[in-house]
Structures are given as structure tokens and as C-alpha cells.
Structure 1
């Protein structure tokens, strides 16, 4: 099965977010199909979250597993800060 342009875009943005999360000490594993990030905090092994990336009229956005938006994909650093804040709360 060949990846669609939309999947390539989603994977690109998720890769940018993974880099930001890893710089903050989190573990981020990219799931290939459908593209999503599995994020965990080595400090709190029990906590993990899945983040995906979805197109909307205003652009691409990162989204929590429960459907709430994390932030715009053009700012992966801000999204990573928000994810870190939630996971370490």
C-alpha cells in the first residue's frame, strides 16, 4: 500500500513534533499506519498518550487521542510544551 500525499504531510508534521518532544525528555514513537505518535514520559512510565495530526480549514493541527486540539502543526515547539505540561501534571 502506497502512502498518500496527506499521509506524507501528516508524517512530516508528526516527525517535527517527535523531535521537539525528545528534546524535552519524552519518548515519541511514530506509528506508520495510520500515522500517529505514541508518547510516553520515562519519569512516569504509566502515562502515555497518542497524538495524531489532522487537516482543518485553518491548516494542520495536532490532536489528542480524545479529539481535542493540541495546537497548530506549524508550531511543534508550542505543541510539545503543551503535551509535556499535561503528561507531567
Structure 2
């Protein structure tokens, strides 16, 4: 199951879920007098659900971005004075 969380397909799915949650959270924002735009008391059950979903999938986006930065070190660039580089290739 670990491969699922590191796959590009899951990352795209998580990104889409966060975007969808943002749309629904805008539809369930506070209107006035502690009422949600849907007419129920704010925060309504739908808003609470999408806040949890956004936090859940957003965590995978942050972890993926962090792990790709940490696990992808840049190879060192050999310089002219680098002893590991033969002089005839310079």
C-alpha cells in the first residue's frame, strides 16, 4: 500500500480532492447571523466534512512535495580542479 501514496496518480487524485473541497467550502461559507449559505447553522455538517477532507488530502500534497525535495538531491558539478575528473575530458 505504500506505493499507492507515492504514486503520481494518487498525488493527482489528492490535488483534485483539495480543489473540489475548496469549491464546496466556498459554497458552505458563513452568510450572515451564523447561517451557512445552504441555510443551516454555520458551520454546517457539509462544511465540517469538507474541512476534514481538505486537511486529509492536503497532508499528502505537503508530504509529497517535502519528500520530493528531500529525496531528490542535486548531483555535484565537477570542477576543473576536481580530482575525480580526468584532465583529458576537460
More helix by share: 2
More strand by share: 1
TM-score, reference length from structure 1: 0.31
Q: RCO greater where, 1 or 2, for CA within 8 Å and sep 6 or more?
A: 2
Larger radius of gyration: 2
TM-score, reference length from structure 2: 0.31
